[in-house]
């Protein structure tokens, strides 16, 4: 997809406010990035957090400057929209939602693949003050937007959702006929529909406190919960990305325009700052300048011969999140595709809107970079000798984060909110440490920590070691119950194509590279490691894989 970041250029026209009234800004007066209480702050200049601004207002503020530029292109159908079309159609969709009697702060489920209409639906809903979410269960959804190919699944699903009071809205793919009793998306954005801002209706929601999007996350523990992301959360995160020191996407100048293939699911990105592609053909037909990826796709690029250097000839930068990439895989990526582009990692959670740290060309490749502006972080001790204490540089503990990009809480789950967010500090459930150059490195998840004879073992640490083995393509490590040791370590190994390796080889490899209590007791060879859409290992599923 083509994406022009110029729509966010208004941030460069705003004067950064040195006297922000947010409590955490007052703490950030020291020249050091860590204060006397071991609270880490961003090295980047803080700014006013645009209180009271809505997502769609920020997106549309200067859009007329790029009115005729291409905003969205579908690599499969070649359907495309200019910024002018995107603006107008989003406004029409907002009007149609209100005409369907969907009220401010009610919810629409958006069950769409990576197609351009996702952006129209998201921004239209924002303009009408309507929340969007990406699932039907436990969501109090009143309507659903999807594609015709999913009709049977949608009909079956909505029968169990009592809150839905409208027929399904379907984006027409021109391959299937519109079922009777459903709503055609094209009718909601037709020429006869007036744009919302021309109707005189009010948005009817509070940008500071009302929810704009409701993605789902398991948080640090338990079943998936709705994460209430407000307009302020989204606008803050957009502003952070446009900070002079954190800019990733460059504005269009003359004939230059960024081209960004979106291979990550739009529900994960909330549909506001990156755009769309299914398939390798997009890389063949477009000169991509920036990749947002997850580690499994990096591994695919390294190991699949269909990916060649021609796909990165115009590339400026690769940014990856979701899980840690080993030094060896980064080296392999460089060997295959060269050193002409920047490679960096970032870190964020659903609960922090998007990223809270981002690397640059000077960051160590295996770190996740420095804190974004207007962000504070603590590293809280987990060992017996430092339990609950704020730790300093080079000390590993649980990562806590605070800032106006942090969610207001979990949807109708006050206990989960209280357990996760205290005094504005979000408990991430991740283990991390800062180095003296202000870079954060992750060391695994607390809930994934394995206790072997009372000693803590991070599966991520061992997985990174195994990724350096020339016969191992992928790996996951879990702990399994053991009568004497509490837990023992079990590794699931994916062999490289044509490689010959046995259980004893795996154990011998680790024997000289890790402490005695970190040794693998059981090895299972599998065809693939189960992972979610963001590339995170689904360790619970591994427990059900038969050793045979």
- What letter does residue 29 receive in the DSSP assignment? T
The architecture of the domain spanning 449-543 is 2-Layer Sandwich (3.30)
pTM: 0.78
Strands (DSSP E) found in 274-324:
290-293, 317-320
> Dihedrals φ, ψ of 347, to 5°?
-145, 135
Return left, alpha or beta for 266; rule: phi > 0 is left, psi -120 to 50 is alpha, else beta: alpha
Helical spans, DSSP H, in 150-265: 151-158, 185-188, 196-199, 231-242
What token pair was written down for 446? 């607390």
d(CA 287, CA 190): 33
List the pLDDT tens digit at each of the 548 positions of the chain.
333 333 333 333 333 322 333 444 444 444 557 777 899 998 887 877 667 789 999 888 878 888 888 888 877 777 888 989 999 999 999 999 999 999 999 999 999 988 889 999 999 999 999 999 988 877 789 999 999 988 998 998 898 899 999 999 999 877 788 999 999 999 999 999 999 999 999 999 999 999 999 988 766 555 678 999 999 999 998 888 877 667 776 666 566 566 666 555 544 433 222 334 445 666 666 677 888 887 778 888 888 888 888 888 888 888 888 777 878 888 999 999 998 898 999 999 989 998 899 988 888 888 999 999 999 999 999 888 899 999 999 999 999 999 999 999 999 999 999 999 999 999 999 999 999 999 999 988 887 888 887 677 889 889 999 999 999 999 999 999 887 788 899 999 999 999 999 999 999 999 989 988 899 999 999 999 999 877 889 988 998 886 54
Please check whether residue 282 is in contact with residue 80, taking contact to mean a CB–CB distance below 8 angstroms.
no
Fold classified for 55-206:
Rossmann fold (3.40.50)
Please check whether residue 440 is in contact with residue 371, taking contact to mean a CB–CB distance below 8 angstroms.
yes
Q: Collapsing DSSP states into helix, strand and coil, what is residue 322?
A: coil
C-alpha angle 133-136-140 in degrees, rounded to nearest 5: 80
Neighbour tally for 200: CB within 10 Å:
7
Which of these, 230, 233, 228, 225, lies nearest to 214 by C-alpha position? 228
Element (H, E) at 444: strand 440-445
d(CA 117, CA 154): 18
Two domains, one topology: 55-206 and 239-407+420-443? yes
- Domain boundaries along the sequence of the chain: 55-206, 239-407+420-443, 449-543
C-alpha angle 325-329-331 in degrees, rounded to nearest 5: 120
Q: Give the list of residues 6+ apart from residue 31 with CB closer than 8 angstroms, or none.
A: none
CATH homologous superfamily, domain 239-407+420-443: ANL, N-terminal domain (3.40.50.12780)
Please check whether residue 172 is in contact with residue 191, taking contact to mean a CB–CB distance below 8 angstroms.
no
Which of these, 95, 99, 93, 197, lies nearest to 145 by C-alpha position? 93
Side-chain-facing half-sphere of 82: CA atoms under 13 Å = 10
Maximum distance among all Cα pairs of the chain, rounded to whole angstroms: 73
């Amino acid at each position: 997809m083509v994406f022009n970041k110029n729509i966010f250029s208004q941030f460069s026209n705003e004067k950064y406010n040195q006297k922000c009234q947010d409590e955490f800004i007052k703490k950030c007066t020291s020249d050091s990035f860590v204060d006397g209480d071991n609270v880490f702050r961003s090295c980047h200049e803080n700014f006013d957090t645009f209180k009271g601004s809505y997502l769609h207002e920020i997106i549309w503020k200067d859009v007329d400057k790029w009115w005729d530029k291409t905003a969205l292109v579908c690599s499969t159908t070649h359907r495309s929209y200019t910024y002018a079309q995107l603006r107008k159609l989003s406004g029409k969709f907002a009007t149609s939602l209100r005409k369907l009697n969907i009220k401010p702060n009610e919810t629409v489920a958006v069950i769409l693949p990576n197609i351009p209409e996702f952006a129209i639906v998201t921004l239209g809903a924002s303009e009408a003050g309507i929340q969007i979410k990406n699932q039907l269960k436990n969501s109090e959804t009143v309507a659903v937007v999807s594609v015709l190919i999913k009709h049977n699944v949608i009909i079956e699903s909505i029968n169990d959702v009592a809150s839905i009071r409208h027929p399904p809205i379907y984006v027409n793919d021109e391959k299937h006929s519109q079922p009777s009793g459903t709503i055609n998306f094209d009718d909601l954005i037709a020429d006869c529909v007036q744009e919302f801002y021309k109707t005189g209706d009010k948005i009817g929601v509070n940008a500071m406190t009302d929810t704009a999007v409701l993605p789902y996350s398991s948080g640090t523990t338990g079943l998936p919960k709705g994460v209430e992301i407000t307009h302020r959360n989204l606008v803050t995160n957009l502003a952070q990305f446009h900070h002079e020191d954190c800019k990733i996407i460059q504005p269009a100048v003359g004939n230059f325009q960024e081209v960004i293939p979106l291979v990550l699911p739009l529900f994960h990105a909330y549909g506001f700052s990156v755009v769309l592609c299914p398939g390798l053909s997009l890389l063949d037909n477009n000169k991509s300048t920036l990749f947002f990826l997850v580690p499994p796709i990096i591994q695919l690029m390294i190991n699949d011969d269909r990916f060649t250097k021609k796909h990165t000839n115009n590339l400026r930068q690769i940014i990856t999140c979701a899980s840690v990439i080993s030094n060896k895989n980064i080296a392999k990526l460089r060997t295959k595709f060269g050193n002409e582009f920047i490679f960096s990692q970032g870190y964020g959670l659903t609960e922090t809107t998007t990223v809270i740290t981002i690397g640059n060309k000077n960051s160590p490749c295996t770190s996740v970079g420095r804190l974004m502006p207007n962000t504070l972080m603590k590293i809280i001790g987990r060992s017996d000798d430092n339990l609950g204490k704020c730790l300093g540089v080079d000390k590993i503990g649980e990562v806590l984060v605070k800032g106006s990009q942090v969610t207001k809480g979990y949807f109708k789950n006050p206990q989960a909110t209280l357990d996760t967010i205290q005094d504005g500090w979000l408990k991430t459930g991740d283990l991390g440490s800062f180095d003296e150059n202000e870079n954060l490195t992750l060391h695994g998840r607390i809930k994934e920590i394995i206790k072997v004879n009372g000693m803590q073992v991070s599966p991520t640490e061992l997985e990174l070691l195994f990724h350096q083995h020339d016969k191992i393509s992928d790996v996951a490590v879990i702990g399994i119950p053991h009568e004497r040791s509490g837990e023992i370590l079990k590794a699931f190994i994916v062999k490289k194509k044509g490689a010959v390796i046995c259980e004893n080889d795996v154990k011998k490899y680790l024997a000289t590279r890790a402490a005695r209590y970190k040794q693998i007791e059981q090895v299972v060879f599998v065809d693939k490691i189960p992972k979610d859409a963001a590339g995170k290992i689904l360790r619970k599923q591994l427990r059900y894989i038969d050793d045979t």
